[in-house]
Structure 1
Amino acid sequence: MSNVRQLREKTPDSEKITINLGYVDLGRIDLLVQEGFYSNRSDLIRTAIRNQLESHVEVVSKSLERHTMELGLRDYSVADLEALKAAGEVLHVKVVGLARIASDVTPQLALDTIGSITVLGALQASADVKKALADRIK
């Protein structure tokens, strides 16, 4: 018997991506890190991405309004989906950020209540729910 127990599953607060850079750009990044402007390569890349996103904040806001998308974190629980089902409504998920479908949502409940999923960012759901909704995920 082990006296180590998991209190709760840790949900990542970021998504890992991979990029390819030319040698010259990589060398310039390394030079800025070496000179102390950034703590590491990732720090510079995150800062550059945030600066670019900030420079386009108005465009992003208008696009969110046009597409009626939610920005940030959106959770969908069993209770949320059961309420939709009881009301005879179908959900069209549109999120920029992170959309999470609770781990206790069954594939059948998801099929009965979710008409489409568009996520610009990341979708977290059980493998079974993702498989059931595969043709509805854009």
Structure 2
Amino acid sequence: MIVPHEPKTRIVDSEKITINLGHVDLGQIDLMVQEGFYANRTDFIRTAIRNQLSRHDDAMRKTVERRAIELGVRRYSRADLETARAAGKRLAIQVLGLAVIADDVSPELAIETIASLEVLGALQAPATVKAALRDRIR
């Protein structure tokens, strides 16, 4: 007997951003790359960002605790939302990282069970669910 399984949502491990840099800053980055300090511009920028984030690690940790934000990847399956609906609960979702709403979640189920949605990072959800929740996304 074949047991059906829940479809897997492909989780992307990074998000592309665009930044504008002055010519001198960009030239200095290129020089650091040419001299072998970094593999490429992206490596330099990632390292700089991580260094800045680590400088503020204590403040970040306290803020995450104070605001009760879930940290990392948080996946909401159809079963999770159906359980919340059965219990009469509406979710106030707060995620720092990646929030994933499964592909089999209907817009109707999302509306019934998600009161608010704040994602600091990235949200992966079906376009129809994002559209249905647009007034609840902060």
Range of TM-score over shorter length: over 0.9
Name the CA distance, whole Å, in 1 between partners of 2:40 and 2:9.
29
- Identify the residue that residue 16 of structure 1 maps to in structure 2: 16
User: Which residue identity does 2:43 align to in structure 1?
Assistant: D
- Identify the residue that residue 68 of structure 1 maps to in structure 2: 68
Count of residues in Structure 1 that have an aligned counterpart in Structure 2: 131
- Identify the residue that residue 100 of structure 1 maps to in structure 2: 100
- Identify the residue that residue 44 of structure 1 maps to in structure 2: 44
Name the CA distance, whole Å, in 1 between partners of 2:119 and 2:99.
7
- Identify the residue that residue 88 of structure 1 maps to in structure 2: 88
Higher RCO, Cα 8 Å, sep 6+: 2
Structure 1 residue 9 displacement after superposition: 6.2
SS of 1:134's equivalent in the other structure is coil
CA RMSD, 1 decimal: 1.0
SS of 2:135's equivalent in the other structure is helix
- Post-superposition CA distance 1:51-98 (Å, at most 9, x none): 111111001001101111010000000000000000000001100000
User: Which residue identity does 1:46 align to in structure 2?
Assistant: R
1:124 maps onto 2:124 in alignment: yes
Which stretches in structure 1 are left out of the alignment for 5+ residues?
Answer: 1-7
Task: Tell me which stretches of 4 or more aligned residues in structure 1 moved more than 3 Å.
Answer: none
Name the CA distance, whole Å, in 1 between partners of 2:102 and 2:11.
12
Contact 2:70 2:94 in 1 (8 A): yes
User: Which residue identity does 1:36 align to in structure 2?
Assistant: G
Structure 1 residue 133 displacement after superposition: 0.2
- Identify the residue that residue 57 of structure 1 maps to in structure 2: 57
- Identify the residue that residue 29 of structure 2 maps to in structure 1: 29
